[in-house]
Amino acid sequence: MQGAGHRVAITGYGVVAPCGIGKQNFWKGLLGPGTTGSVTVEVSEWDPAPYFDGPKEVRRADRCEQYALAAAKEAIEQSGSLPYDLTRIGTIFGTGIGGLRTLEEQVVVRVEKGERRVSPFLVPMMMSNASGAAISMRYGFQGPAETICTACAAATHALGYAARLIAWGRCDAVVSGGAESAATVTAVAGFANMTALSTTKVSKPFDATRDGFVFGEGSAVFVLERLDLAVARGAKIYGEILGAGSNADAHHITAPSPGGVGAIACMKLALDDAGLTPDQIKQVNAHGTSTPLNDSAEAQAVANVFGASKPPMTSIKGVTGHPLGAAGALEAAAVLLSFEHKLIPPTANTTVVDPEMKDVDIVIGSARPWEPGPTISNNFGFGGHNGSIILAPYKN
């Protein structure tokens, strides 16, 4: 974030995903087979008990919040105690919807059993800001506690804003990320009737036969710190956030702007913010939802911005499905793991890249060895929201 004042380090991160709970299990899942056979990919055999003080607390937290607290626990344990004034530790979180499971369950309760049986905890469980608020309250963080709700771009926007609070000197540390658990019967029906879901029940981003997305869920949470302060306290640094971009298509509620015009502008904003040229980007972690319009527009945008340098591009949604507002957080975690393991995970289920995408280099088949370098991660949401963030390995 050129000229902003402070470099931004990542000193801890945690993951809850359908392919693995905990960041290393998540990584193993990303290298495994893609998801097939269902329009939803959920965290199986989820047990929230280890993350709460008793069953009463569990019952008062929607699944979305449960995932957020579990991922935050891993992230904060990795970062270690943050030796800063609590008023200078923020919580900036992203979600697309929030506690939809609770809302749908309680609507059914009202219809079947009457108004007096509706839970008094309905509102605090369903509200979109519940996850970020829960993290703030559990750890006593008294800095800015805000929730960004920009559909599938939410977590990327949250990370970008959190990084700026540190770069600008407003906060010494910010816990940020995203969570989502919204694959309810009604939500799935709505997306299916929109013809957004895969009829073949396979997420295969950028494939010639892609036909829609598979619904995912999960959470990833990051501890961001002022780099100089993190170094001074001896923290392990997993990477840096160099820059971020955010803009709007102003085109259509669900469809991307033709040719990826908005995405092009957003990636250029992130590059400018990071002070990088396109040829310095060494990987693109794509939004890559497996929907025909999104993948086509994103591929055109990447080809336009990066041209002949053709950095390798991957999408993890063949494994994770599309976790809506949590997508950018899970993808940022995948980028950090690709730094650690010096591998770019393949785009699962994709076997024949759409011929229209000949100008981008999609990683398919198996993980690709690489020398880690600056990586741009994209997310584009309904409403025309675009978000790009640039992460890089830490260098002195």
Return the closest-CA partner of residue 387 out of 96, 168, 146, 74: 96
Taking the CA atoms of 184, 40, 208 and 334 in sequence, report the sign of the dihedral they define: positive
**How would you label 332-359 residue by residue, b for 16+ Cβ within 10 Å and e otherwise?**
bbbbbbbbebebbbbbbbbeebbeebee
DSSP string, 20-66: EESHHHHHHHHTSPPPBS-SB---TT---GGGSSSHHHHHTS-HHHH
The tokens 């250029």 sit on which residue?
268
Report the distance separating Cα 48 and Cα 57, nearest Å. Answer: 10
Mark whether 322 is an active-site residue.
yes
Pair type for strands 283-285 and 375-381: parallel
Residue 216 structure tokens: 């995912």
The residue from 19, 152, 171, 266 that is catalytic is 152
The residue from 6, 157, 287, 385 that is catalytic is 287
Asked whether 336 and 287 are in contact (CB, 8 A), the reply is no
The residue from 6, 157, 322, 385 that is catalytic is 322
Mark whether 251 is an active-site residue.
no
Asked whether 185 and 100 are in contact (CB, 8 A), the reply is no
Question: Which residues are known to be catalytic?
Answer: 152, 287, 322
